[in-house]
Amino acid sequence: MSGVGPIAGGARAVLEDAAPLVWDGALGAREYGMLAVSLAFVAWILPPAHWALFGLTAVAVYWIGVAPWGRNRRLLAALAVLALFAWASHRFPRPGVPLVLWGGLGLEAFFLLRCVDWAVSKKAGESAAVARHRPGRYALFLSFLPTLFAGPVATHRDFFRCYRPRSVLPAVELRAHLTKIAWGLLKFCLVAAYLRAAAAELRTLGESGEALLGLVSPWLCLWAYVCLYLVQLYVAFSGFCDIAIGVSRLLGFHLYENFDRPLLSRSPVRWWKTMHISAYRWLMTHVFYPYWEHTQIVRKILTVFLASGLWHLAVARVVNTDAALQLLLAVTIYGAAVAALIKLAPSRLGEAVRGVAATRAGPALALSQVTLTFLFMALVHQLFWAGMTGRPLAENVRLFQALFLGA
């Protein structure tokens, strides 16, 4: 198993250089201002029917989170409320949000994660008077505008732990945050859009049987489309997150980086840990560690992927049999690959691979591992996003037939 790469140094460097946390959780003008802007924006983009849906769900989850119950009871109650929320949100379809990643598809997704985190993170015996229970803090955590649509999804603890309110930012920090936002805008608005158009063109050529420039066969065009589709997904997602993280840091919330060069991963295990790091951390905290015995790694991993699949299914644009099948198939294949590789890591095969990596054949091995991982993840994401966007299964069957059988 390849080791996880270090989290990009930016967040840690900022945290280490910043003043010690002194914020006691009492909302002041600054925090109320952020809350007001966030709530106003949410009210603006959501139809009125959704105001009640989100509002009632948030209130119900708040009370569950501060109730004097055990963790499991609070979790079950929260899941019941959120299942109702997910069901109702599909009954009131809402228009897409312009200029936002995936048309705002992530709004409900990250709302669900924050609600579950709130509901289960109360410590046993914690009194109602602690800062954590203040409704204003909860509201800000749920509705923080920069991270509303695509994360990073910080846990409640991490969100306020990384808050360093300062009235004046040093020039070097200001420059770093603005650069991050500019880079994110470039990736999200320009690069991803270009890649998306190029991918669509390649798919059209491949499906129509035409060669690109008379040189690249339709079959290669389809493979190029599959690869470029994944790259544009990553560029769009990481670009939007760069904007969100840069703005959050300007506001005092020094959130962690959300990606660590996943396209260069040498195995799906590393991809899992470096593509959408905040969701990975959330799943580790709330699914991986709490359930099964500490030694039952395979069961833990499969449970994490099942939970992830159900979470995505709950917020998919279209929920039908095709969508569920493709989405759950994608996470099953992905999870099985991760579990198998982790299980094989300490075996003789794993030792042999590490042995080859230490020889002169190491770079060639690394290149082949990166290539195979990339192609595997590209195929998994075709299935996955077909499920999320409601593309018919038959479309993917034709694509995979063309890719592997040339049909």
Q: Which residues bind other proteins (CB under 8 A)?
A: 1, 3-4, 6-7, 12, 71, 123, 157-158, 256, 273, 277, 284-285, 288-295, 297, 342
Nearer to other proteins, 43 or 351 (CB): 351
What minimum distance in Å lies between the beta carbon of 264 and other proteins?
Answer: 16
What minimum distance in Å lies between the beta carbon of 330 and other proteins?
Answer: 21
- Which ranges of 167-217 would DSSP assign to H, the alpha helix? 171-185, 192-208
Nearer to other proteins, 107 or 283 (CB): 283
What is the token pair recorded at 168?
């004046």
- Listed residue (307, 305, 297) closest to 330, CA to CA: 305
Nearer to other proteins, 71 or 133 (CB): 71
What minimum distance in Å lies between the beta carbon of 369 and other proteins?
Answer: 16
Nearer to other proteins, 54 or 141 (CB): 141
User: Buried (b) or exposed (e) across 247-258, using 16+ Cβ within 10 A?
Assistant: bbbbbbbbbbbb
Q: What distance, in Å, lies between the first and last C-alpha atoms of the chain? A: 36
8 Å CB contact between 221 and 202:
yes
Nearer to other proteins, 12 or 134 (CB): 12
Cβ contacts of 307-310, under 8 Å, gap ≥ 24: 307/283, 308/279, 308/283
What minimum distance in Å lies between the beta carbon of 113 and other proteins?
Answer: 16
What's the maximum distance between 2 C-alpha atoms anywhere in the chain?
72
Nearer to other proteins, 106 or 262 (CB): 262
One-letter identity of residue 54: F
Q: Vertex 233, ends 228 and 239: CA angle to 5°?
A: 120
Residue 307, CA distances (Å) to 80, 284, 348 in order = 15, 11, 31
What minimum distance in Å lies between the beta carbon of 372 and other proteins?
Answer: 21
What minimum distance in Å lies between the beta carbon of 10 and other proteins?
Answer: 13
Cross-strand bridge partners of residue 275: 259
